[in-house]
Chain A
Amino acid sequence: GENVEQHPSTLSVQEGDSAVIKCTYSDSASNYFPWYKQELGKGPQLIIDIRSNVGEKKDQRIAVTLNKTAKHFSLHITETQPEDSAVYFCAADYSSASKIIFGSGTRLSIRP
């Protein structure tokens, strides 16, 4: 069925180090994979997305990689800073159902 699994559920890294969050999806027809960042008390905000015609996309310190064969995609944050502390959600589209399915979220904490 339609499912997106996200790991880990919590992640703590030293400031300046890199953080990696991984997601797997079940629908081979998925073509759109957004990542959202949610700060406390706010709604999720899109930080980066990738479509199935590319394998990697980068925006400053944030990058996303996609492996369609293995049906998994990952978020990479380099040179982490305190303001990166938040909950991150991955998602995948299920066009046959006209919707996006979200992962369960990763709480990222940056240690000073």
Chain B
Amino acid sequence: DAGITQSPRHKVTETGTPVTLRCHQTENHRYMYWYRQDPGHGLRLIHYSYGVKDTDKGEVSDGYSVSRSKTEDFLLTLESATSSQTSVYFCAISEGQGLDTQYFGPGTRLTVL
């Protein structure tokens, strides 16, 4: 998985609780992404980062925030988890944007009860 780890790999939480997912890379790539994967929807971009402290929204960013204080770490936070945020979350990295290949982590399965 191209030097990408995600933690935790599985999490069950209750509605209304905060949740933070972590993505860690050892490739020193500039770009990092958070996607969610749901049946019938493929992979949808939540947020991405183009450098330390530089982030932008994706197509499904409502209810999520991100932070990147170091090149190697990209955090995804659900401030108050809802059942609609039950999903599998994938982190990806790339050297550049657009035409550069994205490499994916192993995923985090999140269940919000």
The CA-CA distance from A102 to B104 in the complex, in Å, is 13
Point out the residues of chain B lying under 8 angstroms from A44, CB to CB: 43, 90, 104
In-complex Cβ contact of A98 among B56, B90, B102, B103 (8 A): B56
Is A12 at the interface (CB under 8 A from chain B)?
Answer: no
The CA-CA distance from A34 to B104 in the complex, in Å, is 13
The CA-CA distance from A42 to B37 in the complex, in Å, is 12
Q: Are B1 and A43 closer than 8 Å at their CB atoms?
A: yes
Chain B residue, CB-CB nearest to A93: B98
Q: In the complex, how many angstroms separate the beta carbon of A75 from the nearest chain B beta carbon?
A: 15
Q: Are B99 and A99 closer than 8 Å at their CB atoms?
A: no
Q: In the complex, how many angstroms separate the beta carbon of B100 from the nearest chain A beta carbon?
A: 8
Point out the residues of chain B lying under 8 angstroms from A73, CB to CB: none
Q: Are B101 and A46 closer than 8 Å at their CB atoms?
A: yes
The CA-CA distance from A41 to B43 in the complex, in Å, is 15
Contacts from A to B (Cβ < 8 Å): 6, 9, 31-32, 34, 36, 41-46, 49, 51, 89, 93-95, 98-100, 102-105
Jot down 7 A-B pairs with beta carbons below 8 A, ordered by A. Answer: A42-B1, A43-B107, A44-B104, A93-B99, A95-B98, A98-B48, A102-B42
Contacts from B to A (Cβ < 8 Å): 1, 4, 40-45, 48, 50, 56, 58, 90, 97-99, 101-107
